[in-house]
Amino acid sequence: MTSHRLIIWRHDRLLGHFDSHTPWSREAVEDIAARLGEGDGYRLERQAAEGERRLLESTPGGIRVLGIEPLFATIPLNP
């Protein structure tokens, strides 16, 4: 399962991003992107997770994962 992110700007001002980690994450991002047109001043960037970074803790009792951060790369928006 690939996570997707949609980064959203309006009039060159960053509004934020939407992350989806569902099995249909690509469709979710494309659905939102289709509703935010350039004619209304939106600029969009779509990214897909290509890997992850893990924060680990090592103690005498063993190793445990403290956190996971997806590593995103930009991919083209569908027309």
Q: Give pLDDT tens digits for 21-45.
A: 999 999 999 999 999 988 999 999 9
Element (H, E) at 34: helix 25-35
pLDDT(9) > 60 = yes
Q: Are 5 and 29 in contact (CB under 8 A)?
A: yes
Element (H, E) at 29: helix 25-35
Question: How confident is the model at residue 79, as a pLDDT?
Answer: 55
Mean model confidence pLDDT for the chain: 93
Q: Which of 43, 48, 41 is nearest to 19 (CA)?
A: 48
Question: How confident is the model at residue 11, as a pLDDT?
Answer: 95
Beta strand 42-59 with 13-20: parallel, antiparallel or unpaired? unpaired
Question: How confident is the model at residue 77, as a pLDDT?
Answer: 77
User: Hey, which residues does 63 pair with through a beta bridge?
Assistant: 58
Angle at 12 between CA 31 and CA 49, to 5 degrees: 45
Percent of the chain past pLDDT 90, that is, above it, reads 89
